[in-house]
Amino acid sequence: MTRLALGTVQFGLNYGVSNTNGQVPIEVSKKILELAKEHDINTLDTAPGYGNSEKVLGKIGCNDFQIITKTIPLKLGVENVLQSFHLSLINLHINSVDGLLIHNIDDVKNRQFDILYKELNKLKQDKLIEKIGFSIYTPDQVEFLLDNFDFDLIQVPFNVFDTRLIDGGQLKALKNKQIEIHARSVFLQGLLLNFAQLDGHFDKWKKQFNNYQKMVEVSGCSLLEYALNFALNVPELDKILVGVESTSQLRDIINVPMLNTNLKEFSINDIELLNPVYWK
């Protein structure tokens, strides 16, 4: 199960449409990391923007993990972005990170971006960063990056409802350039695991949700088994990011049986559903 990676936004914030418990307490976060380590889950995803997630990881100790973190917005200035990265190292109590992602893709439009990118490459030469990459939201953004930048790593949204990067061929294009691909939102903030008690924003997709649940039922899978295996059956994805609030949730994910059969996609090409930024 080493293709699994652990998202840690819940360690620093109250996050997720299905999260009823709020921010994960540090004692629980520690147990989650211990369980992850036991099962060879060796990559953690964090960011300065995830509340105090980085400080929590630093207090627990994360030297045994590969750490992916992210930049703060470039509108704050190149120097502040670089200072923030060094602060991340301090907060995490580590000397280097496996990956640094440009968190806000719109930063590439900033006239200072070329300066920042050169500085990040210097940090890479100094072995403070192993891989430089981007966090993106749309296929167009992938196309733009492929045309304009050399980079090592990309974090993309992907799930059974969101197959835009397969349909448009962007995953294959990234793999052809040997770029490491990490998939986030494989459970769509937990929505794909529990369709009960959604608020009114989701009413317009109610019929599609019902049809999807019937399809999953026919497959003989649980909602968790279907959503996770759908992502794991995509060979281009190097890491599948999962976020949990408890050891029992992580254990459920670890214990999901791996299915080699191709599961059907259920594409819903509506950005108001696929990007949680638009959720009211």
- Structural domain boundaries, residue 166: 4-278
Give the global pTM: 0.95
Task: Read off the pLDDT of each residue in 52-58 and give the average, rounded to a whole number.
Answer: 97
pLDDT digits (tens, 9 = 90+) for 120-130: 999 999 999 99
Secondary structure (DSSP) of 88-135? HHHHHT-S-EEEEEES-GGGGGSTTHHHHHHHHHHHHHTTSEEEEEEE
Residue type for 240, please? I
Question: Of 141, 169, 167, which is closest to residue 156 (Cα–Cα)?
Answer: 141
In 3-state terms, what secondary structure has residue 39? coil
pLDDT score of 260 = 77
pLDDT score of 13 = 84
278 C-beta neighbours (distance < 10 Å), count: 11
pLDDT at 19 over 90: no
Residue type for 9, please? V
* Contact assessment for residue 274 and residue 161, using Cβ atoms and an 8 Å cutoff: yes
pLDDT digits (tens, 9 = 90+) for 133-165: 999 999 999 999 999 999 999 999 999 999 999
| Count of domains forming the chain | 1
pLDDT digits (tens, 9 = 90+) for 245-271: 999 999 999 999 999 788 999 999 999
Residue 121 makes CB contacts below 8 A (sequence gap 6+) with 132
Q: Please, how many CA atoms are within 13 Å of residue 187, restricted to the half-sphere of its CB?
A: 24
Question: Which domain CATH number covers 255?
Answer: 3.20.20.100
Phi, psi of 155 (to 5 degrees): -110, 125
pLDDT at 51 over 60: yes
Structure tokens at 35: 């369980």
The band of 68, judged by pLDDT with boundaries at 50, 70 and 90, is very high
